[in-house]
Structure 1
Amino acid sequence: MSKTIIVTGSTDGIGKLTALSFAEKGHTVYVHGRSEAKVSAVVSEIKEASNNQNIKGLVADFSDLEAVSELAKQIKTDIPKIDGLINNAGIFKTKEIQNKDGLDIRMVVNYLAPYVLTNAILPNIKQSEAPRIINLSSAAQAPVSEEILRGKTQDSVNSTYAQSKLALTMWSFYLAKQESKINVIAVNPGSLLNTKMANEAYGQFWSPAEKGVNIVVDLALSEAYKNDSGMYFDNDKGEDKGYFSPAHPDAYDTMKTEELLSITNQLLSGKMF
């Protein structure tokens, strides 16, 4: 049965290949990126490659939370039922450290943007009979600093990235508990996959991008994972395919999670959306 799936950050890398894989399987796919021209080009490319015309585009700069909120409004109107949301958009290296609100761009794109988008479109996701949210985490997870989250101080690229990914994972587990009818899974698709992000950051890769694509698609569609909400899948484990594994200990700390979400909501309450 055809599903409607949104893949954020899908004009490059794992996101693009994941969108193509869904398209090849006959699903309706929404490609997202920050450049309208690039989104349009990728939509056309995927349509041709998959022979599937049900491919559409979404445009928003995830470093701008107002733009994310506007995108959410558009989605709520245009896509009444969402079967799958793949929160893939992420950033590691960036020329600009902070966004216009003075927040670290890695924290915004990797954590706050998916938080804002997902929460805004939950009513549409709940219209699906078996909805799934797959949040792309990382093997890199580090305790979240309130000062970093609030944009009061800066840390190294590696540390801030790892903090943003732990924040995403902590919220994933919380969301899974709050929304019992939605299957929410956090996944490390694999370290140093052959993607633009990894090559820009490290100039090398360990595994093909397809390794990450395969597990993300599997988690989003396979019946094998229908009862695994609130879990963390580590694709660095095993040879060809990983398995569910413990995330960072902070992800299981209720008090730290509540503190994270309290600060998050304080930051967002100051916005006009």
Structure 2
Amino acid sequence: MTTTQPHAVVTGATSGIGRWIARGLAQAGYGLTLIARDEMRADKTHRWIAAAVPGAAIDIVRADLSSLKDTRAAAASILSRHPKIDLLVNNAGLLSHDRQVTPEGREKTLATNLLSPLALTEALLPAMVAPARIVMVGSSSADRARIDPDDLELRQGWRMTRAYARSKLALLMMSGLLAERLKPAGITVNVVHPGLVATNIVRHGGIDEFAWRLLGRFALTAEQGADTPLYACLSPELAGQTGLYLKRRRAARPNARVRDPALVARVEAAVGRLL
């Protein structure tokens, strides 16, 4: 009797916890599609995983995940190669020093951290059937964040940390709605805070990068930070469990705003207009 190798799609896999998530999935027997913007870094990651898991099946799809057009084109490319997807890990993230606007007219932090994961997930859903899992990498920065549905892109009062936290709070909200929508189909959607991880997400130099590197002395390594995301991806204990916000492998209580139906509905409408 032959079995089909399960397949996982991972974003943000060329650095930080994403590399360790991808490697952990390969070690668990998954074939991989890695969505990456930088070809050289993608090739380096491919070789790094293959060295640890000889014979690993790894595809690379190039895309700029701040672009909805690129995101949807990447999904189309994946679907043409893989008619069945068992796991989607939306890990790619951006913490930008300056307020930037993409060529499509979207604030870049929101586009990368929220709009792209939602667009990618929606586009790949036709290939996902029970018991497929969707794992969104969130952040505890959302725990005390506020959100204005009338100004998701922070045209007023933009700050790096505020934009990042707001994007992750909106991701929690939209993931909860998606979890409810997909529950009858047996597809689970969970959000994971990996912990404070020493990654290179802040790469623009100056005082912010200096402070991040200083803080990084007390942070988890990227390998350690991949533990809870991999738990969300692979643990038999989470089979069928959906709508969770996980920290250190445990379900945590999210920001109270996530449980405000009126506010979530307004955010959903605003996100829909941006998509």
TM normalised by structure 2 equals: 0.88
Q: Name the structure 2 match of 1:246.
A: 253
Paired residue total: 259
Residue among 144, 166, 169 paired with 2:169:
166
Cα distance in 1 for partners of 2:48, 2:223 equals: 18
Structure 2 residue 125 is the aligned partner of structure 1 residue 115: no
* Alpha-carbon distance, 1:69 to partner: 1.3
SS of 1:121's equivalent?
A: helix
Residue among 52, 55, 63 paired with 1:52:
55
* Alpha-carbon distance, 1:190 to partner: 0.5
Pick closer, same or farther for the CA change 1:95–1:57 going to 2, 3 Å.
farther
What is the alpha-carbon root mean square deviation over aligned residues? 1.9
Deviations 1:8-67 (A, max 9, x none): 010000001110111122210112211123222321221122113311112110111111
* Alpha-carbon distance, 1:146 to partner: 3.1
Cα distance in 2 for partners of 1:174, 1:21 equals: 28
Question: Sequence identity of aligned pairs in percent?
Answer: 28
Cα distance in 2 for partners of 1:212, 1:148 equals: 32
Deviations 1:143-174 (A, max 9, x none): 22235424633511001100000011111110
* Alpha-carbon distance, 1:96 to partner: 6.1
Q: Single out whichever of 100-109 and 169-178 deviates more from structure 2.
A: 100-109
Following superposition, which runs of at least 4 residues in structure 1 exceed 6 angstroms of deviation? none
Q: Contact 2:88/2:133 (CA < 8 Å) preserved in 1? A: yes
What does residue range 1-273 of structure 1 map to in structure 2 within 5 Å?
2-94=5-97, 97-126=100-129, 129-141=130-142, 142-150=145-153, 152-180=155-183, 181-191=186-196, 193-197=197-201, 200=209, 202-203=212-213, 204-205=215-216, 206-235=219-248, 242-268=249-275
Cα distance in 1 for partners of 2:12, 2:99 equals: 18
- Structure 2 residue runs without a partner (length 5+): 204-208
Pick closer, same or farther for the CA change 1:74–1:154 going to 2, 3 Å.
farther
- Structure 1 residue runs without a partner (length 5+): 236-241, 269-273
TM normalised by structure 1 equals: 0.88
Cα distance in 2 for partners of 1:175, 1:24 equals: 29
Cα distance in 2 for partners of 1:208, 1:37 equals: 23
SS of 1:186's equivalent?
A: strand
